Amino acid sequence: MNVTAAEMGTHPAMKHVPSTILVTGGAGFIGSNLVHWLLRHDPAVRVVTLDALTYAGDITHLADLPDPARHLFVHGDIRDRDLVARLLREQAVDTVVHLAAESHVDCSIERPDAFVQTNVVGTFTLLEECRRAWLDDGIVGGRSTRFHHVSTDEVFGSLGPSDPAFNEQTPFAPSSPYSASKAGSDHLVRAYWRTFGLGCTLSHCSNNYGPRQHREKFIPTVIRSCACQVPIPVYGRGINIRDWLFVDDHCAAIERIVRMAQDGDAFNVGGRCERSNIEVARLICARMDLLRPSHAPHDRLITFVKDRPGHDLRYAIDATAIERRLGWGPMWTFEEGLAYTIDHVLQAYGEGVSR
């Protein structure tokens, strides 16, 4: 469902005008798309990317930037307090968009300690150094500052088939070490706003998809499996449902929250697009049948595998608040975004197709 202008209402007044934005995790999937988005849509802003280049980060994601002279890449860890403090001051950062996180649920089951370190300790380090730089030392003078924390709908737990979608008042009930660590970081952000008056905002997004997503995630895995003619792994019976959000729509929402939200605001960001895993897999297979008819039907490759422990049945986002208050709405339909993503993944792995 695309939101109409009438449904979105009028835009609120600008609350914060960024000058230099520090994007943590900016070489990852959502982060790199956000860096491209910011440089493309705001010719006045500078962007500093801080990324440790772990398994999810890839420096090539930051190639072909719209205006590379306005971008600085720094290889480093968000837990490095000296590095974070120096970056904030040397670059006169007035805005942080915090995306750096361990985010693979399966990995969190195998090694949860890494998730606590990055997602909880890392977020604390950023908040504390922003508090010192902005509130104690006043490094940006009288300019406004903002710390925006990007979280996940997984902190809310699992929904039943007929339960209402998550809204901003839904209590946290995380199921995995990953979602628990993100919930912990959310609480820290709220605490720094309430206790210290740090200008913070939060967002909880549904499942993103699009260009530059890590190859182990569900949609890229299905596409590559089709291209390579190998089994497509689908957990359980494929009945788990997710709300899918095209990554550019998410970037637009982040920018709007950073600029227009009030300090302390939290918004749920979703695509109003619930699909089961098996439905997504079959849609990709159908698209691949059109692109590679000699290998059709691709859905013969679908293979059900043992379900992951604690696999949440359904996530769904009620994005009414951000639609009505900030005038944001998803612009891409799932079919459009999926077709674009399939073409991008095939081209990225040497399986180019004509659009």
Residues annotated as catalytic are 153-154, 178
Q: Which two tokens stand for residue 296?
A: 């059709």
Nearest CA-CA partner of 269 in 285, 282, 287, 251: 251
Nearest CA-CA partner of 253 in 32, 38, 6: 38
Count of CB atoms within 10 A of residue 106's CB?
12
> Could you tell me where the beta strands, DSSP code E, fall in 122-230?
146-152, 200-205, 207-209
List of residues 6+ apart from 64 with CB closer than 8 A: none
What is the spatial distance between Cα 240 and Cα 246, in angstroms, rounded to a whole number?
19
Q: Is 243 exposed, middle or buried (0-12, 13-18, 19+ CB in 10 A)?
A: buried
Per-residue buried b or exposed e for 64-88, using 16+ beta carbons within 10 Å of the residue's own CB? ebeeeebbbbeebbbbbeebbbebb
3 state DSSP class of 287:
helix
